[in-house]
Structure 1
């Protein structure tokens, strides 16, 4: 028979494991050795800034990389093929709703976005 204090101990251990799994990794000043090079060949802060990019930590791993602006940022679109990076629906548009979007402002898509494909909003997708 399971005693109540054994059950509480198991429940507490499970709760601690769940909380530990939700914690964010520590921010890094340098990219990890196995991190992929930044897009567009801008693999250093100097090259990034020379290209008009922003050098910052990106993604859940907080890897330093270059976010370059797109030439079509903010332009109206109906599909990702209309844009350098992606066609993003206006905030609050439901999945399956016919809509126009705007071209994403950066070559990085971190965060939560709703993409537009063939003039229809898709499901929201969050990229870490």
Structure 2
């Protein structure tokens, strides 16, 4: 059973090692809409694509960030947003448990920190991204 669990971990490590060996290649977030970090981000290319350079995350990597037009709009589901409908990772005191949670559309495609996605008025998939 341990070999069964170890095999996927080894594949991930191998893929990361191979990707880091090719440092001139862009490293994209798992989400196709996410930001792209490269060893040397081209400011002109980023700006031409409607983005701006910013340093984000624990590593403060310079990435090209693309803002969303509906940033900060109240939402009850990610289908109402260009990105995700998000709220804090932990429930607030007095938060409605009846499925009427209102979140906000994320500001841009470089979402870092702790948050939960709002789907159908409910907090789901809480995560911390550094």
**What TM-score range do you get, normalising by the shorter chain?**
0.5 to 0.7
Match of residue 119 from structure 1: 121
CA pair 40-63 structure 1, distance change in 2 beyond 3 A: closer
2:27 counterpart of 1:36: yes
Match of residue 80 from structure 1: 78
Unaligned stretches of 5+ in structure 2?
1-22
Counterparts of 2:124 and 2:109, CA distance in 1: 20
CA contact (8 A) 1:96 1:121 kept: no
Unaligned stretches of 5+ in structure 1?
1-31
The Cα of 1:101 is off from its aligned counterpart by: 1.0
CA contact (8 A) 2:85 2:118 kept: yes
Match of residue 9 from structure 2: none
Q: How many residues are matched?
A: 97
RMSD: 3.2
Counterparts of 1:103 and 1:48, CA distance in 2: 22
SS at match of 2:79: helix
TM-score norm. by structure 1 comes to 0.58
